[in-house]
Amino acid sequence: MIDPKDKNLPVIDTEDSQASEHVKLSRRLFLGGSAALVGGAAAMGATMGGALMPSVAHASTDAKHTVGPGELDEYYGFWSGGHQGEVRVLGLPSMRELMRIPVFNVDSATGWGLTNESKEVLGENAPLNGDCHHPHMSMTDGQYDGKYIFINDKANTRVARIRGDIMKTDKITTVPNCQAIHGLRVQKVPYTKYIFANAEFRMPHPNNGLNMDDVEGYYTMFNGLDAESMDVAWQVIVDGNLDNTDADYTGKYAFSTCYNSEGAIDLPGSMRNERDHLVIFNIERIEAAVKAGKFITLPGSDVPVVDGRKGSELTRYVPVPKNPHGINTAPGGKYAVANGKLSPTVTVFELAKFDELFADKIQPRDTVVAEVELGLGPLHTAFDGRGNAFTTLFIDSQVCKWDVEKAIRFYNGEKVDYILQKLDVHYQPGHNHTTMGETRDADGQYLVSLQKFSKDRFLKCGPLHAENDQLIDISGDEMKLIHDGPAFAEPHDCMMVHRSKVKTRKLYDRKDPTFATTVAMAKKDGITLETDSKVIRDGNKVRVYMTSVAPNYGLNEFTVKQGDEVTVIITNLDEIEDVSHGFCMVNHGAQMEISPQQTASITFKADQVGVHWYYCNWFCHALHMEMRGRMLVEPA
Ligand code: K7E
Ligand code: CUA
Ligand code: CA
């Protein structure tokens, strides 16, 4: 085990070490590359401060991975935008950015956070910042169904849903009585009924300022959200805190890692124990407890809260070394792997044993079928569907490819080399992900490794560096690095879906629920959105309805009075794919997208008299510059 407080951490006596040959080798390499960095207080921090030795990786250029001009990618990648707050859509293997989906941020191109439709999704007074980590697509029978992509917001304790057909955010839920939603996964089987969302930080309950020193009394909760309504269905009180989560392929279990079984409120305290734990949640029992009324509610919310602390029938706690981070279920669901972070090990669970564990026929550790060393700082594991696993080693700056069955045999005493290959990545990887790898359809084509540091890999842009998302070909026996992709803060996680699973709309459906409220308002005003361009006055509220057809707005001008609250509602009648219009009212902080057959609206105050031009801000036509009009503001 690594003692992160050991100042000599990277200087490991390989003679005395119980480490396998592979671990010894990688430690020696690590020493050679960064001996100057010794002295950090924590293992994870040891390499963060200084520069690494520049490393030259020779990218293989294989025609198979080249996506030529005009050719389409094989996979969609959905990338977390980290604390930038959005989700990004990439094509793979080209790694080209295809789209950005604003979620917890403001986006002036689309008007997200500015339009009335987006404000309805975000909610009144919603924070317009976020910290996304884990994008995951809804599934049916353990396969992606293309319907939704879910993403957490650690910064404001929220979960958002993106519609797969239009790639826009359509629901956001704030989880009550919690702080910092981190780990997020979906129920895989029989379908995504629940989104599982970990709240990370323990806090007092009630959090009323009277019990802040009662640290022992703090707790956090595991949350099940209904994927359709996006309501929080139930919350489970746990011991320790929660980090990452995943689900099985029977629909019966979800499980979360905990790095702070100590219940500490400081860093050294949270590294005191050699083992923390994996909490296993029995979904059927949680549902039954809620149904039987065996729950409490907490102030300000009517969400049923059940108690899953140690000794509860709803959960089991399996000791795992040390401050474990990622937990990843192998395709098909025979195994799940917890990643040791401060221990050089991964822990392999056999999920079929969970039934016996909940029947009290075996002990928690009896579910562990292997616990083997891979290298320093294992954070996340991905799978190729052929029995191989790929684990990121943060401190070693490597991806380790290993054979799960061989690791189990090694753990059982057989002399077998379970490590197949270690590949340098640049630098310090966090999450990794394989194509289709979190589903039954894992196809073992590509692995993306998301590095927290790019150091010397790109042209410098000042003190803040891009991160480095590297694409690795895993289709053969050897992993091959084939692409470096600079990324802005901070793609913790991503997922890759074969393009056959994603069905997007070319045009909006006129009945699309994203503008249903606006349609209802128009109806009240006696307006037919598809034909009318008309101004409705309602006291000092003015609603300006207009259509758009390239290169014209339905109204060339409209007149209001100073001080009016003006809502501009535009319906784009174009039926040609890709002909989106925009609307921008100059000097009024108002702009938005109106895609074909969409209705969008934005509200602003007409506080200055005189002529104010509005214009189309999405290039739509040879006469796009001419697509404009005047707002005439008369003195009140
Ligand atoms: Cu950065 Cu999944 Cu939030 Cu690991 S998490 S790296
Ligand atoms: Cu319409 Cu540009
Ligand atoms: Ca710990």
Look at residue 16 and tell me whether its pLDDT is greater than 80: no
Q: Report the SS3 class of residue 64.
A: helix
Confidence of residue 62 (pLDDT cuts 50, 70, 90): low
72: its two tokens: 């389409």
In a domain, 280, yes or no: no
Residue of minimum CA distance from atom 3 in ligand 1: 133
Report the alpha-carbon distance of residue 455 to residue 583 in Å, rounded: 41
Give the mean pLDDT of 59-86: 89
Distances from the Cα of 511 to the Cαs of 45, 529, 592, in angstroms? 52, 12, 20
Range of the domain at 564: 513-634
- Answer with the residue of higher pLDDT: 48 or 381: 381
Position 56 pLDDT exceeds 60: no
Q: Which residue carries 């909760």 as its tokens?
A: 221
Q: Whose CA is nearest to atom 1 of ligand 2?
A: 581
Least confident of 38-42, 132-136, 142-146, 319-323: 38-42
Dist. CA 326 → ligand 3 center (Å): 14
pLDDT of res. 28: 37
The pair of structure tokens assigned to 434 is 């394989």
| CATH code: domain of residue 555 | 2.60.40.420
For residue 599, being part of any structural domain is answered with yes
242 CA → ligand 3 middle, Å: 11
Q: How confident is the model at residue 46 (pLDDT cuts 50, 70, 90)?
A: very low
Taking CA atoms, 62 is separated from 56, 65, 469, 476, in Å, by 18, 6, 19, 13
Question: In terms of Cα–Cα distance, which of 411, 427, 349 is closest to 374?
Answer: 411
The residue that leads in pLDDT, 217 or 332, is 217
Mean pLDDT of the chain: 92
Residue 227 belongs to a domain: no
Give the nearest ligand 2 atom to 620 CA: 2
Give the tens place of pLDDT for each residue, 326-364: 999 999 899 999 999 999 999 999 999 999 999 999 999
What pLDDT shows up at residue 64? 82
* Residue 396 DSSP one-character state: T
346 inside domain: no
* Mean pLDDT of the region 498-523: 98
The strand pairing partners of 337, in sequence order, are: 328, 348
Annotated binding residues for Cu cation, as ranges? 133-134, 182, 325, 380, 431, 492, 581, 616, 618, 620, 624, 627
Residue 613 lies in a domain: yes
pLDDT at 227 over 70: yes
pLDDT of residue 26: 45
For residue 49, pLDDT over 50 is answered with: no
Q: How large is the C-alpha radius of gyration of the chain?
A: 27
Lining ligand 2 with CB less than 6 A are: 550-551, 581, 616, 618-620, 624, 627
Query: In which residue are the tokens 């294992």 written?
Result: 378
- Whole-number Å distance between alpha carbons of 185 and 187: 7
Give the residue ranges of the annotated binding site: 133-134, 182, 325, 380, 431, 492, 581, 616, 618, 620, 624, 627
Mean pLDDT on 80-98: 98
Residue 259 pLDDT > 70, yes or no? yes
Distance between CA 220 and CA 225 in Å, rounded? Answer: 16
Q: How confident is the model at residue 10 (pLDDT cuts 50, 70, 90)?
A: very low
Question: Residue 202 — very low, low, confident or very high, per pLDDT cuts 50/70/90?
Answer: very high
* In a domain? residue 586: yes
Does the pLDDT of residue 417 top 50, yes or no?
Answer: yes
Q: What is the mean pLDDT of residues 556-573?
A: 98
Inter-residue contact 152 to 132 (CB < 8 Å): yes
Rounded to whole angstroms, the Cα distance separating 288 from 302 reads 17
Q: Is the pLDDT of residue 58 over 90?
A: no
233 Cβ contact list (under 8 Å, min separation 6): 194, 224, 225, 226, 290, 303, 304
Closest CA to 530 of 547, 545, 555: 547
Q: Whose CA is nearest to atom 6 of ligand 1?
A: 430
More confident residue, 453 or 28: 453
Percent of the residues in the chain that have a pLDDT greater than 90, as a whole number:
89
Distance of alpha carbon 1 from alpha carbon 324, whole angstroms: 12
Lowest mean pLDDT among 55-69, 208-222, 453-467, 547-561: 55-69
* Tokens coding 564: 């009016």
* pLDDT over 70 (residue 4): no
Quote the pLDDT of residue 238: 98
| Mean pLDDT to the nearest integer, 519-542 | 98
Q: Which ligand is nearest to the CA of 615?
A: 2
pLDDT of residue 63: 74
What's the pLDDT at 61?
A: 55
DSSP string, 334-371: SEEEEE-TTSSEEEEEEGGGHHHHHTTSS-GGGGEEEE
Residue identified by tokens 């996304």 is: 132
Segment 36-64 mean pLDDT = 44
* Entry pTM: 0.91
Is 527 contained in some domain? yes
On whether residue 382 sits in a domain, the answer given is no
Q: Hey, what's the torsion of the CAs at 485, 491, 495, 498, to 10 degrees?
A: -40
The secondary structure of the chain in percent helix, strand, coil, rounded to multiples of 5, reads 15, 40, 50
Count of domains forming the chain: 1
Given a cut of 50, whether residue 29 has pLDDT beyond it is no
Residue type, 461: C
